Structure 1
Amino acid sequence: MNGNDSINGAAFTTSPKMPSTAATTSRSSPFLPTPLETLLLSVYPTILIFGTLFSALSPETRAAPYDTIKQFHVQATAPSYFARKDNLFNVLFVKRGWLWITGSFLAFVATHPTFRNGNGRQVARAATRWAIVTSWWILVTQWCFGPPIIDRGFRFTGGRCEVAQDAVSSGTAGQKELFTAAACRTAGGNWSGGHDISGHVFLLVLGSCFLVQEVIWVVLRAGARIAGSGDDRAIVMDDGALKGARVEAEYAAEGHEKHLGAGGKFALGVVGLSLWMLLMTATYFHTWFEKSQLTGLLVASMAVYTVYILPRWVPAVRAIVGLPGI
């Protein structure tokens, strides 16, 4: 470790001769989210718990007729506009959620100075992270070498398509109609029994957390005139040494105005709307018992940890996906 490393606080040492500094004491564990990330991540369970409690305690919500098979309030007597499945926010935003996530991410990358003034590696790695997160979204909700993970999990835990099952027994339908929720609805059946991961919770948590991770670290670093200011992420180097993430950001553009830009504002707007719709989902649509919000949260968190935390302590992974803002 040379003198510059010591001055900049870019290296970590356990030597008793080195006095403790703010840079070393404030550095986070590479295996866990930073304090800022922990604060942001705590928003999700807080929203889900609040929505569930509100749904259970609100007289209007409890009194409104609720279809336990289709798992939503009867449209004509819904306790809120947001309790209707045909509300515009659900139809135009949630149902097309990944399109909004992708569009806002592209807008941010296209407009923020960090990506325009960099050497292209930031853009390539950001695109790689998007591809991994998008692949997880596809595998969980769209297709996983056949039925998606949500539908496979539902059937594995004893779920089935009631009407389609009867049709298969009578020889009027093929076995394929039993395999996915979409095929079940097309056949006029109902997904019944089993453990059904909340696709809405999964989508809204995964998409919004992806955008927050991509925006926040870029903005913090781009506005820093001192390398690493505001960034307490720690990484494990190839030789096992623990250092601040800023040691790998020597080429990153610094000294830019600390701003979001049009793309960043668009992305955070999508995050805000995602959090609002997450609250509406927890309040009016799915309970913890009927359609597990908790499982949706956990499945989304798996991807977040893999893409944004795992690379900090596995250099080989970090070499491929990088870190936001680095």
Structure 2
Amino acid sequence: MSDSNTPKRKLSGPTTAKDLIFGTSLQAARKYLFLPVEKKALFYLVIVTLLSIFASYYPPSEGYYLASKGNVFNRYGTKVGWFWTLITVGPFIWLSSYLHHKSHSEALRHLTRLLIATGLWYFVTNTYMHVEKITGKCVHHEGGKPSDRDQCSLAGGKWAPGIDISGHAFMLIYMCLIISEEVCFFKILIFL
């Protein structure tokens, strides 16, 4: 017996390949996003190590666009990468905290996590640059001993890099971990 007042539901059309790919990608992203941070960090460490070993035996050719320091991803992605994180994650934290707590002071308190993350990012990247500076040296130069890359170039020398810890790799991994942790925190806020 069907009630004449209940609306009849239409069946959706057949699932398309686009729907299948989107749904599968969404489920994979959810699985990754809610993995424990320790597993994500270990995953990144393994990937960076394997890619570093691979690149030392098979370096990219000089003509390869992505190997160039002037490529668009290096210029606008990693050089100002923390800026992109701040302008996307900052409003997300503010809005999600404000909507949950209905308080500007609580939203500001939650933004301090991003402030602390920014301070840590600044400290670590400057430490990486300092390590490279003190372990590098200037060769084929005239005059006194230049102490950094710019002075070496001005003296007509060539800078031989020392220990060059990849600040780009650190920043990209750090950004991914910060973003995924903020999303996980948002998930916790929803269920409280």
TM-score norm. by structure 1 comes to: 0.41
In structure 2, C-alpha distance between the alignment counterparts of 1:82 and 1:36, rounded to whole Å:
31
Structure 2: unaligned runs, 5 residues or longer = 1-34
Match of 1:55 in 2: 55
- What does residue 108 of structure 1 align with? 92
| Matching residue within 129, 132, 135 for 1:151 | 129
Whole-angstrom CA distance in 2 between matches of 1:40 and 1:104: 21
The answer to whether the 8 Å contact 1:137/1:203 transfers is yes
* Structure with larger RCO (C-alpha < 8 A, sep 6+): 1
Give the match for residue 89 of structure 1: 73
User: Are the structure 2 counterparts of residues 137 and 36 from structure 1 closer, same or farther at C-alpha, using a change threshold of 3 Å?
Assistant: closer
Q: Distance in 1 between matches of 2:56 and 2:120?
A: 32
Asked if residue 203 in structure 1 is aligned to residue 171 in structure 2, the reply is yes
Mapped to 2, the partners of 1:136 and 1:182 lie a distance apart of 26
C-alpha distance in 1, partners of 2:114/2:153? 31
CA RMSD of aligned residues (A): 3.1
Secondary structure of the residue that 1:178 maps to in structure 2?
coil
Identity, % of aligned pairs? 25
Pick one of 147, 151, 159 that aligns with 1:178.
147
Indicate the structure with greater helix content: 2
Aligned residue pair count: 158
Question: In 1, are the aligned partners of 2:136 and 2:159 still within 8 Å (CA)?
Answer: yes
The structure with the largest alpha-carbon Rg is 2
Distance in 2 separating the partners of 1:136 and 1:48: 21
- Determine whether 1:223 maps to 2:190: yes
**3-state SS in 2 of match to 1:42:** helix
The equivalent residue for 2:25 is none
* Residue aligning to 1:212: 180
State the distance in 2 between where 1:43 and 1:206 align: 13
Residue 191 of structure 1 aligns to a residue in which SS? Answer: strand
Residue 43 of structure 1: aligned partner: 43
Give the TM-score, by structure 2 length: 0.65
List runs of 5+ in structure 1 lacking aligned partners. Answer: 1-34, 66-73, 142-147, 170-174, 228-326
Give distance in 1, aligned partners of 2:115 and 2:44. 23
Residue 178 of structure 1, CA deviation: 1.7
Does structure 2 retain, via aligned residues, the 8 Å contact 1:101–1:208?
no
Q: Using the alignment, how far apart are the partners of 2:153 and 2:113 within structure 1? A: 33
Equivalent residue letter for 2:100: N
Summarize the Cα distance change of 1:51–1:93 in structure 2 as closer, same or farther, 3 Å threshold. same
State the shift of 1:155 in Å: 4.1
Partner Cα distance (1:137, 1:188) in 2: 33
Deviations 1:250-295 (CA, angstroms, capped at 9, x unpaired): xxxxxxxxxxxxxxxxxxxxxxxxxxxxxxxxxxxxxxxxxxxxxx
Please show how residues 216-255 of structure 1 align to structure 2 within 5 Å: 216-218=184-186, 220-224=187-191, 227=192
**Residue number among 81, 91, 100 corresponding to 1:117 in the alignment:** 100
